[in-house]
Chain A
Amino acid sequence: MTTENKHEGSTHHLREYGAQTPGTKGIPGKKRYSMVIDLRKCIGCMSCVVACKAEYGVPLGVWRTWVMVADKGRYPDSRRIFMPRLCNHCDYPICVRNCPTQATFKHEEGFVLQRYNRCIGCRTCVVACPYNARHFLPAKRTNNNLPKLVVDKCTFCIHRVKKGLVPACVQACVGGARVFGDINNPKSEVAKLVAKERVSVLKPELGTSPSVYYIGGDWEIMDETHNYKNRSAQQKAEFNTFKRNHHGDAFGDIVEGENTMHHVGKNMSDFLASIQHKYHDVVAALKQLLFG
């Protein structure tokens, strides 16, 4: 599969309702920015994660991009595999379709973007995204001018791309695993790689038509169910510690192996506590509305 041209036997039906911009993959005369991640070259150094955190001041505990790690096989026939993750900038994004205020939208060149001034923080898009590519920004941020209590996500570094640069994660990738470009341009490196190599995408069955392609993807790390069933004990413990100690903003986190109803209650008290900082926000918004 090189590019999908819906005029020529595309595998995708038109799922453009609510996407605001029609799918542009394979449409002549249109750009479609995409990323190819060559997992054979990824060494799991996490430079991309650090570059992204630095580029946007991404708060603790949330990620625009991250790298999954898995151990495959048994010693001595074993190896460690990695899989960088980020928003797939889907051609048919469920997050955009389901956002009630058009706060998230699709740019005609394929970027799926977020308008902080429109976002009401309902987190419907987080529920909709099958890839965990979205996160909710906390109430406290180191730089007070950065957005808070709204949803954020990877932007494919549109501000850099528009200046002719590649995204920060691509720039920082030491192994040269991340490749970025316009897949509709047959001369671009991404188009050539997708044409030549065996590529796969995450959860293709959901009809999102992702624009992040993996070369050398391992089905076990790519499959959500397998992932869930085969977590290491250490990873389980890390998740539990994180969820147990997380407060605020009404996240429905349940800790495995602990009393569910206790966490339902804790979640409610966190919600009540979160009203306090939201209240200040409401007062500020009202003041601005009334007195300018």
Chain B
Amino acid sequence: METIITYNAVHHNPWGTPITIYFWLVGASAGSFVLSAFGWVFGIKRYKPLALTASILAIAMLMIVPVLLIWDLGKPFRFIYLMLPGFWHGTAPMAWGSLLILSYPISMFVYTYFVIKNDQKWAKIIGIIAIVLALSTHWYTGVVMELNPGRYINHTPLAPLLFLTGAFISGIGLMILVLWIQNQFMREEKKIKWALMEEMGQYMMYGIVFDCFLLFLDFMQTQYGTASENIGHHTVLMEIFFTPYVWLEAVIGLIIPLLILVSPLKRTRLGVYSASLLVAGGVYGMRIWWVMGGLYMQSFY
């Protein structure tokens, strides 16, 4: 017996490109901030010279976020309701997120101030708070879609980990590119050492391996999971979202950079810079399939 659906109302995917860009920006911001904190919070002295650039980059990316998010609302002026007592709704992930998106840049500003003042004690204290907020802000981008049991592709506890790992590698990738540009304008003694960038490239490689592992776990879940998870993977991700899922994320964002970073090319500037570019761009592919792909199947129900 076969049943063919011949008529149904058409439904929209409620979120689109602005949200995908926002997820990418928050991630890259959190990733850059982690690098900034290496020197001042975790005490790895050789990272101190890049701390300021990293935190400014993190702040700059986060400044674009409210523009996207607020104008994506139907009623932009009412964004303030997200923070007003009497409106704020404690069980809604988005309500947590709005507090995080507000407090994370503030903590970064204060941290950057102490870095400029060269105040080790306060930079460390505020840095710890900022790094917790950075990770939480990005954790939230994972859970805001995960905590919807009806969205089968998104409803996985791996979501925050996938986001945080993507954040880490895209943040490093972007940072390496920014440092390369910065070096073009610096005096010789102020330039960031190549050895440091090479080391960052290696961190990126570990992140890529972990990201591949997470994707593999997710893949296994879809193979042995429910019909919805299975169809979600086979027809939504592998067919309709093939470009962002396979080409952009897996091939451009993970496989090619991984091959570069485990080969002798990892010692060359061309190798590290191109791997950084590919990773930073490839992570955006994940943001596309996660948001638009995650919402796709149900729009036919």
Contact = CB atoms under 8 A, between A and B. Distances in A.
Most buried by B among A97, A206, A221, A264: A264
B74 A149 contact: yes
Most buried by B among A120, A124, A127, A230: A127
A150 interface: yes
A197 interface: no
B77 interface: yes
Interface string A82-125: 00010000000010011111100000000000000011111110
A259 B243 contact: yes
Contacts of A127: 14-15, 145, 148, 151, 295
A251 B12 contact: yes
Interface string B62-83: 0000000001111111110110
Interface stretch (A3-11, A186-194, A279-287): A279-287
Contact of B291 (A63, A148, A249, A252): A252
Given A224-B228, A228-B300, A252-B17, A101 B76 contact: no
Contacts of A238: 10
B243 A261 contact: yes
A56 interface: no
Contact of B240 (A63, A234, A254): A254
Contact of A70 (B5, B13, B93, B300): B5
Given A94-B150, A98-B94, A100-B92, A120 B10 contact: no
Most buried by A among B3, B88, B151, B241: B3
Interface of A is mostly: mixed
Interface in A233-270: 234-235, 238-239, 242-243, 246, 249-254, 256, 259-261, 264-265, 267-268, 270
A190 B184 CA distance: 75
B263 interface: no
B72 A119 contact: no
A171 interface: no
A195 interface: no
B300 A231 contact: yes
A287 to B, nearest CB: 11
A271 B73 CA distance: 10
A227 B6 contact: no
A278 B74 contact: yes
B231 to A, nearest CB: 5
A68 B4 CA distance: 11
Contacts of B147: 98
B224 interface: no
Given A128-B148, A227-B5, A230-B4, A118 B13 contact: no
Contacts of A129: 150
A130 interface: yes
Contact of A206 (B2, B76, B79, B150): B150
Contacts of B242: 260
A69 B292 contact: no
Contacts of B150: 94, 128-131, 203, 206
A66 B77 contact: no
A291 interface: no
Given A256-B240, A261-B244, A267 B76 contact: no
Interface string B264-301: 00000000000000000000000010011001111111
Contacts of B240: 254, 256, 260
Nearest to B72: A250
Given A98-B91, A250-B18, A260-B240, A227 B73 contact: no
B7 interface: yes
Most buried by A among B8, B19, B79, B95: B8
B89 interface: yes
Given A71-B4, A238-B10, A124 B241 contact: no
A275 B68 CA distance: 10
B3 to A, nearest CB: 4
A136 B243 CA distance: 29
Interface of B: 1-21, 71-79, 81-82, 87-95, 98, 144-145, 147-151, 227-228, 231, 235, 240-244, 288, 291-292, 295-301
19 contacts: A63-B9, A71-B6, A97-B91, A98-B93, A101-B88, A148-B74, A203-B150, A224-B301, A228-B231, A229-B235, A230-B5, A231-B5, A234-B6, A249-B74, A251-B12, A260-B288, A264-B292, A267-B16, A274-B71
Nearest 7 CB-CB pairings of A with B: A121-B74, A130-B150, A18-B91, A252-B16, A149-B74, A126-B14, A66-B9
Given A100-B89, A227-B5, A252-B14, 9 more contacts: A18-B90, A101-B82, A120-B81, A122-B72, A225-B227, A226-B227, A229-B235, A252-B13, A270-B16
